[in-house]
Amino acid sequence: MAGDLSLIDTAKYVAARRAADMVQNGMRVGLGTGSTAAWMVRRLGERVREEGLAIKGVPTSTRTAQLARELGIEVVSLDQAGWLDITIDGADEFDRELNLIKGGGGAHLQEKIVATASDQMVVIADAGKEVETLGAFPLPVEVIPFGWQTTRTLIEEVLDTMDVLGTRSALRMNGEAPFVTDEGNHVLDLHLQRIGNPRQMALVLNQVPGVVENGLFIDICDKVVIGYGDGRVELRDINEGTVELDELFDGGKDNLFTDLAD
């Protein structure tokens, strides 16, 4: 399959490819969820077929598991894997300290569990996902269905005491019905506009009865691979304090990703 990619698709493609090429034979790999992560999974599938790459993949959602199996990647559970060498996943926002907002796809609970069970977490993203301050993207909070409206009220009361610009919350919907996560829970999207203290926010939200997990990933990400529309790819390592800029990839022709929706 061939065709020219848009600038945003090129950025996602080069980030996904660069991160997938970090994976070595024999690794246990956390497989993220989302459009950019799906491109990474496809690159790994290509390496499995063409290079004989042997890995065990731990998916963070049912849809990622299905894609990985279709591509010939061996899929195991986290319990079976025990501990992972690397997790590669996308992000909805990241700041200069590599704190993240995740959960636009509703998989942040499994994503956080898998990421924290890994030697390193690598985030792949286009350059537009970098922000000075987290919060423009709505913060997902997974809540149990029982008493979710009470949980929502408690969350909004907490938000009144936090350093944020907005306090509106909305139940995520799937058509006319509430969105349901893989664990059978609901998601409240918090429209905060700006999160002044993400660390405090993450801790406080998880103390609210009914909250399962929030989409703030604090001190979890080790590296971010940033793709640009011109094909450049930048690798930042928060632990080493290094920044690398790679040569251009040809993301416009004969790649496996042009059929994926954004």
User: pLDDT category, 138, cuts 50, 70, 90?
Assistant: very high
**165 and 206 inside one domain:** yes
Backbone angles phi, psi at 133, to 5 degrees: -135, 135
Contact 56, 90 (CB under 8 A): no
Whether residue 261 is contained in a domain is answered as no
H or E element that contains 31: strand 28-31
- Is 258 marked as a binding-site residue? no
Give the number of other Cβ atoms within 10 Å of residue 177's Cβ: 7
CATH number of the domain encompassing residue 183:
3.30.70.260
Percentages (nearest 5) of helix, strand, coil residues in the chain: 30, 25, 45
Token reading at 49? 């077929």
For residue 58, the enclosing domain spans: 7-131+219-246
| Within-domain flag for 258 | no
Model confidence at 248, pLDDT cuts 50, 70, 90, reads low
Give the pLDDT confidence of 32-70 residue by residue, as tens digits: 999 999 999 999 999 999 999 999 999 999 999 999 999
pLDDT tens digit sequence for 71-88 = 999 999 999 999 999 999
Confirm whether residue 104 is marked as ligand binding.
yes
197 domain residue, yes or no:
yes
Residues 102 and 187 in one domain: no
35 is in an annotated binding site: yes
Does residue 58 share a domain with residue 160? no
| Same domain (yes/no): 88, 196 | no
Same domain, 167 and 39: no
Is 231 annotated in some ligand binding site? Answer: no
Give every CB contact of residue 205 below 8 A, 6+ residues apart in sequence.
141, 155, 158, 211, 214, 216
Together in a domain, 176 and 198: yes
Q: Which residues contact 117 (CB under 8 A, 6 or more apart)?
A: 30, 78, 83, 84, 87
The reply to whether 229 and 202 lie within a common domain is no
Distance CA 155, CA 149 (A): 10
Residues labelled as active-site residues: 111
pLDDT digits (tens, 9 = 90+) for 144-183: 999 999 999 999 999 999 999 999 999 999 999 999 999 9
In a domain, 255, yes or no: no
Are 45 and 15 part of one and the same domain?
yes
Q: Is pLDDT at 28 greater than 90 in this prediction?
A: yes
Angle between helices 7-20 and 35-51 (to 10 degrees): 50
Same domain, 102 and 223: yes
Is residue 256 one of the residues assigned to a domain? no
Structural domains in the chain (count): 2
Instruction: Please check whether residues 120 and 159 belong to one and the same domain.
Output: no
Predicted pLDDT at 161 = 95
Verify that 182 and 238 share a domain, yes or no. no
